[in-house]
Amino acid sequence: MQDEITGKIVSALVIQLSAREKVDLALKATRNVAAYELFLKGRRFDRLGTKEGLEMAQALYRQAIQLDPRLGRAFGALARTRTRAMIWGFTERSAQGLDQALELAQQAVSLNSSSPQTHWALGYVHKENMGTPLSRGNTRCTRRRHGLQSRLMCMRSQ
User: Which domains are assigned to the chain?
Assistant: 1-30 (no CATH), 32-157 (1.25.40.10)
Question: Whole-model pTM above 0.85?
Answer: no
User: 85 by DSSP, 3-state: which?
Assistant: helix
Residues 6+ apart with CB under 8 A from 85: 51, 54, 55, 58, 91
pLDDT of residue 10: 54
User: 33 by DSSP, 3-state: which?
Assistant: helix
In this prediction, the residues of the chain whose per-residue pLDDT falls under 50 are 132-158
CB of 115 within 8 A of CB of 73?
Answer: yes
